[in-house]
A and B are shown apart, each in its own frame.
Chain A
Amino acid sequence: MKHTAKLKTGHPYISTTNACKLCKPLGACIAFRGIEGTMPFLHGSQGCATYMRRYIISHFREPIDIASSSLSEKHAVYGGGSNLKLGLNNSIGKYAPNAVGVATTCLTETIGDDVSMLLREWRVDADAECPNPEIPVVNVSTASYSGTHMEGFHAVVRETIAQVALTDVPIPESADEDIKIGTKPLNLMPGFVSTADLRHLRDICEDFGLEPTILPDYSDTLDAPVMAEYEKLTSGGTSLQSIRHMPQAIASIEFGRVLSACGDTGGELLQEKADVPLYAMGMPIGVRESDRFFNTLSRVSHRPIPRRHDLERGRLLDAYADGHKYLFGKRAIVYGEEDLVVGLTAFLSEIGVQPVLCASGGSSGYLKDAIAAVTDGLLREAPQVRDDVDFFDIAQDALTLKPDFLIGNSKGYSFAREQGIPLIRVGFPIHDRMGGQRILHLGYRGSQNLFDLTVNAIIAKKQRDSPVGYGYI
Chain B
Amino acid sequence: MEPTVLKGRETQIYRKGKEPFAIECNKQSLAGAVSQRACVFCGSRVVLYPIADALHLVHGPVGCAVYTWDIRGALSSGPELHRLSFSTDLQERDVIFGGEEKLKNALLELIERYEPKAAFVYSTCIVGIIGDNLEAICNQVTEVTGIPVIPVQSEGFKGNKRAGYNAACKAMFRLVGTGNTSDISPHSINILGDFNLAGEIWIIRQYFEKMGVQVVANITGDGRVADISRSHGAALNVVQCSGATLDLAKMMQDTYGVPFERVSYFGVEDMAEALYKIARFFKDDPEILKRAQLLVREELSVLYPKLLEYRKDLEGKKAAIYVGGSFKAFSLVKAFRLLGMDVVMVGSQTGTKEDYEELQEITDEGTIIVDDSNPLELSSFLQEKDVDIFVGGVKERPIAYKLGLGFCDHNHERKEALEGFEGMLNFAREVHSTVMSPVWQFMPRRTG
Contact = CB atoms under 8 A, between A and B. Distances in A.
Contacts of B398: 57, 61-63
B395 interface: yes
Interface string B89-126: 11110110000001001100110111000000000111
B61 interface: yes
Given A57-B395, A62-B402, A63-B399, A17 B125 contact: no
Interface string B25-45: 000111111111111111000
Given A61-B401, A62-B402, A51 B63 contact: yes
Interface stretch (A119-127, A139-147, A197-205, A463-471): A139-147
Interface in B289-318: none
A229 interface: yes
B444 A66 contact: no
A86 interface: yes
A58 B413 CA distance: 11
Nearest to B62: A19
A19 B66 contact: yes
Interface in A175-234: 224, 226-230, 232
Given A50-B39, A226-B403, A230-B403, A57 B92 contact: no
B396 to A, nearest CB: 9
A6 B113 contact: yes
A8 interface: yes
B113 A5 contact: yes
Interface stretch (A20-28, A162-170, A258-266, A268-276): A20-28
Contacts of B32: 41, 67-70, 86-92, 94
Contact of B126 (A50, A62, A93, A106): A106
Contact of B110 (A15, A95, A228): A15
Given A16-B62, A65-B34, A145 B106 contact: no
A98 to B, nearest CB: 16
A416 interface: no
A299 interface: no
Contacts of A84: 31
B114 A5 contact: yes
Given A70-B28, A144-B63, A107 B109 contact: no
A75 interface: yes
Q: Is the interface on chain B under 10, 10 to 19, 20 to 34, or 35 or more residues?
A: 35 or more
A410 to B, nearest CB: 11
Contacts, number: 256
Nearest to A363: B91
Contact of B69 (A18, A91, A224): A18
B37 A50 contact: yes
A45 B70 CA distance: 22
B185 interface: no
Interface stretch (B77-85, B165-173, B219-227): B77-85
B179 interface: no
Contacts of A5: 113-114
B37 A46 contact: yes
A105 interface: yes
Given A5-B113, A17-B86, A90-B32, A71 B157 contact: yes
Contacts of B31: 67-70, 83-84, 86-87, 90
B362 interface: no
B34 A14 contact: no
A47 B87 contact: no
A11 B109 contact: yes
A52 B67 contact: yes
A146 B114 CA distance: 28
Contact of B89 (A2, A15, A55): A15
A384 interface: no
Contacts of B113: 5-8
B160 interface: yes
B102 A14 contact: yes
A133 B383 CA distance: 31
B105 A11 contact: yes
Nearest to B377: A94
A83 B38 CA distance: 17
Nearest to B439: A226
B158 interface: yes
Contact of A230 (B80, B83, B86, B402): B402
A172 B37 CA distance: 41
Interface of B: 4, 6-8, 28-42, 57, 60-70, 80, 83-92, 94-95, 102, 105-106, 109-110, 112-114, 124-126, 128-130, 155-160, 374-376, 379-380, 383, 394-395, 397-399, 401-404, 443-445, 448
Sorted nearest first, the 8 A-B pairs with minimum C-beta distance are A47-B39, A23-B63, A90-B32, A87-B31, A87-B32, A15-B106, A230-B379, A228-B444
7 contacts: A15-B89, A19-B62, A19-B85, A65-B375, A66-B34, A86-B32, A224-B402
Given A63-B398, A110-B129, A144-B62, 13 more contacts: A7-B113, A15-B102, A17-B110, A48-B156, A57-B395, A61-B398, A70-B32, A86-B31, A90-B33, A91-B32, A94-B32, A106-B95, A146-B92
